[in-house]
Amino acid sequence: MTQPLKAVRVSEHVYWVGAIDWAIRDFHGYSTEQGTTYNAYLILGDKVTLVDTVKPAFVDELMSRISSVIEPSRIDYIISNHSEMDHSGSLPAVVDRVRPERVFASPMGVKALADHFQLNAPVASVKDGESMSLGNLSVGFTETRMVHWPDSMFSFLLDDGVLFSNDAFGMHLATSQRFDDEVSGWEYQAAKYYANILMPLSLVIAKTLAKVEALKLPIKVIAPDHGFIWRKDLETIVSLYSRWSAQKRNTSAVVAYDTMWGSTATMATAISEGLSSEGVRNKLMPLKGCNRSEVITELLEAGAVVVGAPTMNNNIFPPMADLLTYLKGLKPRNLIGAAFGSYGWSGEAVGQIREYLSAAGVEMPLEGLKVKFVPREQDLADCFQMGSSLARILKEAAAIDLSAPAATTREAPIPR
Ligand code: FEO
């Protein structure tokens, strides 16, 4: 590192000493078109404490920012809130340079760190609800299992009211500003982060929100490990998490498709028209122009997903198999859907799409729609009908309670 970098003061005793990754465009399969940050924090107590580290390639940036405040060898403790590599990847290098007295992690974190590294420092566990003295300051710990991994925990600096929330309340967004009141237009990135990282953990997140609320911590600042720090708009991000974790849905739809020679694209357009004819806002998402993580973001609050792909060599056209595998893992709740696609000889793709959607928990009230080679006028009328029928079902479900678990799977021919 040739140029010294600066820490940013967060509160009386806390400095941000993280790294800004302006260049990353793929975060384990999630498109990060606006980069990200790996936030780490330095607590200047009698016992100087580093909260989390950064991705391995950014260790020099971390050390440089620490050095702008304090000689790194003065760090006594390191708290590891989560062992995933974007937060612990540079821990071995930091430990070797700093030689801390001890590294602290949750009981699951101690095991996870041991499974990742051989650290040249003792690693001790801190329990849920435990507090630790830094001499003049006190840090409390709350286990937040599965937000994002089993080892995840929050740390809380009681004296300054700073909650170190690790993966929660963050987003993949690189900015030169560090605080929420300095950044605008972040909402899409917050939703994208929730949809792609946290959506399958929504039930746990709802419980974690309730658990932290019950602790009645005097939180003044939420300091996550990605994106900017919340010092003004804390309520906004917490209420967004409350809303997203409930997985309540609106009456909009996403039509995701891929096409070989244009037939499935033509079908997708007719289905979109059918949805629109019933006043259902919808978005056509051709996979040739959309990353899987963008489709998932649109599905965070949409009520319906319509998926189309041609059959290729007796299988789903591969880019769509990619999206469906991803969707299945993210387990969206309370979604309805339908499948369509063109084919030349065998036409297995539509049935396979339905199997994926069913495995993902998507309720499918309509039969799939297949068209041989090129859609004719009647085929396009059927596609339109699929869209308008699904729109009516969606509106009816929303009028009842779309967030309630589906009692039955409705299977019916497309009404004409
Ligand atoms: Fe940002 Fe689960 O790591």
Catalytic residue among 52, 167, 363, 382: 167
Alpha-carbon Rg for the chain, nearest whole angstrom, is 24
Residue type, 77: Y
Is the pLDDT confidence value at 320 over 80?
yes
Mean pLDDT of 111-118: 97
Query: What is the token pair recorded at 275?
Result: 């949805």
pTM of the model: 0.94
Strand (E) positions, 252-398? 252-257, 281-286, 304-308, 311-312, 315-316, 336-343, 369-372
Tell me what pLDDT residue 3 has: 74
Assess whether 116 carries a catalytic annotation.
no
Tell me what pLDDT residue 187 has: 96
Assess whether 326 carries a catalytic annotation.
no
Q: Which of 2-6, 139-143, 164-168, 407-411 has the lowest mean pLDDT?
A: 407-411
Mean pLDDT of 67-77: 97
Mean pLDDT of 282-311: 98
Domains for the chain: give ranges and CATH numbers.
Answer: 8-246 (3.60.15.10), 252-394 (3.40.50.360)
Between the alpha carbon of residue 282 and those of residues 28, 51, 279, 387, 401, the distances in Å are 28, 43, 9, 10, 20
Is residue 225 in contact with ligand 1, taking CB distance under 6 Å?
yes
**Where residue 275 falls among pLDDT bands split at 50, 70, 90?**
very high
For the chain, percent of residues with pLDDT exceeding 70 = 95
DSSP letter assigned to residue 363: B
Is residue 379 in contact with ligand 1, taking CB distance under 6 Å?
no
Tell me what pLDDT residue 414 has: 36
Is residue 151 in contact with ligand 1, taking CB distance under 6 Å?
no
Is residue 294 in contact with ligand 1, taking CB distance under 6 Å?
no
Buried residues in 301-339 as b, exposed as e (16+ CB within 10 A): ebbbbbbbbbbbeeebbebbbebbebbbebbbbbbbbbb
Task: Kindly report, residue by residue over 250-265, the tens digit of the pLDDT.
Answer: 999 999 999 999 999 9
Assess whether 401 carries a catalytic annotation.
no
Mean pLDDT of 399-411: 44
Assess whether 148 carries a catalytic annotation.
yes
Counting from 1 in the atom list of ligand 1, the atom nearest the Cα of 225 is 1
Assess whether 82 carries a catalytic annotation.
yes
Q: What whole-number distance in Å separates Cα of residue 285 and Cα of residue 185?
A: 22
**Residue 195 near residue 330 (C-beta atoms within 8 A):** yes
Is the pLDDT confidence value at 127 over 70?
yes
**Where residue 2 falls among pLDDT bands split at 50, 70, 90?**
low
Distance (Å) from CA 167 to ligand 1 centroid: 5
**Where residue 163 falls among pLDDT bands split at 50, 70, 90?**
very high
Is residue 148 in contact with ligand 1, taking CB distance under 6 Å?
yes
Tell me what pLDDT residue 400 has: 60
Query: What is the token pair recorded at 285?
Result: 């998402």
Classify strands 369-372 and 336-343 as parallel, antiparallel or unpaired. parallel
**Residue 132 near residue 139 (C-beta atoms within 8 A):** yes
Is residue 84 in contact with ligand 1, taking CB distance under 6 Å?
yes
Q: Quick one: which H or E segment has residue 26?
A: strand 26-27
For the chain, percent of residues with pLDDT exceeding 90 = 94
Q: From the centroid of its chain, how far is CA 45?
A: 33
Classify strands 153-157 and 138-143 as parallel, antiparallel or unpaired. antiparallel
Q: What whole-number distance in Å separates Cα of residue 405 and Cα of residue 213?
A: 26
